[in-house]
Chains A and B, each alone.
Chain A
Amino acid sequence: MSRMSCDLAIIGGGPSGMAAAVQGAALGLDTILLDEQPAPGGQIYRGIEAVQRARADDLRILGEDYEEGAGLVAAFRDSGAAYEPGSVVWQAVEDGRIGISHGGAARILIAQRILIATGAMERPVPIPGWTLPGVMAAGAAQTLLKANGMVPDTPVVVVGAGPLLYLVATQLARAGVTIAAVLLTGPDIGMSDALKVPGALRAGRTLLKGLAWRNELRGMGVPMIHGVSQPVIEGKAQAEAVSYTVGGTRHRVPAGLVLLHNGIIPNTQLSLGARCKQAWDPGQHCWRPETNEWGATNHARIAVAGDGAGILGARAAACLGRMAALDAAVRLGKLDPAQRDRMASADRAQLATQQSLRGVLDRLFPPAGELLVPIGPEDVVCRCEEVTVAELLDAVAQGCTEANRVKAFTRCGMGPCQGRVCGPIAAEVIARALGQGADRSGQFRVRLPVRPVPLAELAELQS
């Protein structure tokens, strides 16, 4: 029998969700964690139980940050919180109703408090050829490695910007993958450059880690090319090569798999669908839900924690998850605010550290501007509906000067992804056309279902 109600419903099985579940259960809240994955860990700790159980050798490839997740996953399994894997959440409503699809059946669960902990997604990288088979987000290669112990067996070219690029390339190289090139749009950053950023000394360990990855790649002979511009993926039916400009000349490197990355951004679909107020974060160049330090939004029953509330990383996510659970307990009368504040003091301190660290990383690794906005008329903005830059520009020229008008005019954002991938791109195209900031373009309105639902499931909806 599926649960139809609970005190605290947590959506997402990553560090913030798991930490919240552990804390919520410990405080006596009737807690359910809904996870669309089959096992806990979210993306950052994806597959960690299977790795520990059957592929422990891979831990050396994946690194110590990954291994850190094992303790949290074990604590979650022991917490007494109910766990519902394989559950796709397609709506969260301000009155506490959550729409869930599981095992071919859909139902509405009513929660006293909803914690949206769906984390982040990779910023789309809409360079020419980005929709070809054989082109993936860098995190996709990580997912295949973590969840399936699979690695590319064809030359890989990694393109983009951001610290995750170094990590993914390092992990793949350790696994014996041939990396034909790492093409970085930014300059090469050494320790002396890093230290020029205010606050860098406090971020020392993290910076050293990133530099260590870069040096490891160098040591393994992986070609790293900085200052790259105008990357283009070539190929007819799938990716075959990447061409790019550096130092004023055009180059071409053959590839069987191309991995793209330009930072990560909060996944705002559920919070947008719940009509939570959103704010533009200029430092991270992205939208995120407006939350206080406890994750509370403008709706009484909804909180957001973890990277879904703003990119701060896994450690901060766990702190925010716990704090959101503490706050939920206060709201449900199981804790008073003074107790909550006392119990949160360690997390608050850790959070402050993580926030200043993130500030340093954001200054060192801003998103690559050139990779944000496609400019070729035939470049694809909306993957689902195959809407091009030219069509968006035509819509703007006809007076559709905001995201939803462009969507209604061109169908951009009307496909199965409901704008989660093309939204940021469309905003940049509109912004560039109008000579204004991306935030002025607005966000797509999101309504149920945040994920497609079979009509057959709706016909038998349990509520």
Chain B
Amino acid sequence: MGGRAIVVGGGLHGTSTGLHLAQKGLDVLVIEKNSVGRHASGVNAGGVRQLRRHPAEIPLSVAAMDRWLDLDAFLGPDLAAMCEFTGHVGQVAVAETDADMAELVAREAELRALGWAHEELLDQAELRKVAPALAQHCIGGLISRRDGYANPYRTSQAFRLKAQRDGVRFQEGTRVLDLAKLGEGWRVETSAGSFESDVVVNCGGAWGWQIAGMAGEVLPRGHFAASMMVSARVRKFLDPVVIGTGRKLSFKQADNGSVIIGGGILGIPDLDAETADPVAERLVESARTVFDLFPIMRTATIVRCWAGLEALMPDQIPVIGPSRVVSNLWHAFGYSGHGFQLSPIVGSLLADLIVDGKSPLPLEAFRADRFNEDPSAAHPGVAS
């Protein structure tokens, strides 16, 4: 194809889309209002997870996992190392009660019926083998063995450097102010002047609705702030990532020994200041959950917390695909707190869709026109 593309948003999805379009011969400019990886891409908990995904995401997640497990091929060895990815340690959903276990059993059956075998049930003995530090009362689990974790900010930079090697230009500190049709293409007005393009891709994350709005398209504007706590180093006691079933928890121990605790504890978002704050009172529940599940953490010390801004869609899955109201505008945003692992693949699928007219994996479930009759209603997603 040749032709120009402008990607709005320098997070992982914008960068991934940019590099895949460049690999197909387009001239690509990524416009980022802060710095690459500043928001969700750089401040998530770093889980590289197939486990417990929405069924529509599963084909994408499995294909993404293939890429994570061969990052050398995707990024080149030096940039692959930059991501600090650890794979094949597994992510485990833990069952504390019979109700939890029943939920996991149902889940495994659901996936098997859909033809997926990557989520395996664990009985208590097997759980103990995989995560011996879990409390005695845990009765079983569901594991996805290929899963792991990476360093989100370093991964964002690795993707950017790869994109730059492939010829993608980045314009940071530049805010998109308006999108205007110019024939079949676009004039993108920014705080640093205007740019013309044949194609615009909206990877605006928590601000994706704003970018869509500039083109006259109403898409859901929900967002939330996920908060995380990190402990001082503890002698290595856990290999897989553990997620809660009956209660909110995402728990991993990094290779350097620090423990990263997340799982949906909400912070306070500030979309205007483009930042978010953790809330001490809301960490209480998380701290108690950690103690219940990992007795070794009773002498742990929390060194830092942060909160990151994430988009939130009404059905908690992203918008991926063409604009429904105007030509040559594409969307890939709204990952609702679980876009990190999908980043190597969505950019590739979107580039295939844009250039070749079709994606090798089904994207129907993510179409932009799936929302309510009244598309101007904001999702009652959390404001604070």
Chain A residues within CB distance 8 Å of chain B? 91, 97, 99, 108, 275, 398-400, 402, 405, 408-409, 414-416, 418, 445, 447-449, 452-456, 458-461, 463
CA of A455 to CA of B283 in the docked complex: distance in angstroms?
9
Contact partner of A418 (CB less than 8 A), chosen from B229, B277, B280, B304, is: B304
Q: What is the minimal beta-carbon distance from B14 to any residue of chain A, in angstroms? A: 15
List of A residues within 8 angstroms of B299 by Cβ: 454, 456
In the complex, what distance in Å separates the CA atom of A169 from the CA atom of B135?
A: 56
Q: Which listed residue, A399, A408, A452, touches B303 by the CB 8 Å rule?
A: A452
- Which of B157, B231, B281, B306 sits near A455, CB closer than 8 Å? B231
Residue of A nearest to B277 (CB): A447
How far apart are B3's CB and chain A's nearest CB, in angstroms? 27
Q: With A399-B160, A452-B232, A461-B281 in contact, is A409–B153 under 8 Å at CB?
A: yes
Determine if A447 and B301 form an interchain contact, defined as CB atoms under 8 angstroms apart.
no
Contact digits for B263-304, partner A, Cβ 8 Å, 1 yes 0 no? 000000000010101101101100110110000011111111
B306 touches A416 (CB 8 A): no
A458 near B304 with CB under 8 A, answer no
Are B288 and A459 in touch, CB under 8 angstroms? yes
Which residues of B are found within 8 Å of A399, using beta-carbon distances? 36, 157, 160-161
**21 A/B residue pairs, CB under 8 Å, sorted by A:** A275-B273, A398-B157, A398-B161, A408-B37, A408-B154, A409-B157, A414-B304, A418-B304, A447-B304, A448-B277, A448-B305, A449-B280, A453-B302, A455-B291, A455-B300, A456-B299, A458-B229, A459-B288, A461-B280, A463-B280, A463-B281
Known: A416-B303, A447-B306, A459-B287. A409 touches B280 (CB 8 A): no
Bound complex: CA A108 to CA B153 (Å): 32
Bound complex: CA of A415 vs CA of B273, how far in Å?
Answer: 26
In the bound complex, what is the Cα–Cα distance between A275 and B275 (angstroms)? 11
Interface residues on B, range: 35 or more
A417 — nearest CB in chain B belongs to which residue?
B303
B140 at the interface (CB under 8 A from A): no
Closest chain-A Cβ to B44's Cβ sits at a distance in Å of 12
**Which of A97, A402, A449 is B304 in contact with, Cβ under 8 Å?**
A449
Question: Does the CB pair B280–A405 fall under 8 Å?
Answer: no
Which residues of B have CB within 8 Å of A447?
A: 277-278, 304-307
Nearest chain B CB to A44 CB, angstrom units: 29
Shortest Cβ distance from residue B179 to the other chain A in the assembled complex, whole angstroms: 27
Instruction: Please tell me if the beta carbons of A454 and B303 are within 8 angstroms of each other in the complex.
Output: no
Q: How far is the CA of A217 from the CA of B303 in the complex (A)?
A: 43
Q: Select one of A108, A415, A448, A456 contacting B278, CB under 8 A.
A: A448
Q: List the B side residues contacting A458 at CB < 8 Å.
A: 229, 280, 283-284, 287, 302
- B208 CB–A CB distance under 8 Å: no
The 10 closest A-B pairs by CB, nearest first: A408-B153, A459-B287, A458-B287, A455-B300, A452-B301, A452-B303, A459-B288, A461-B284, A463-B281, A455-B287
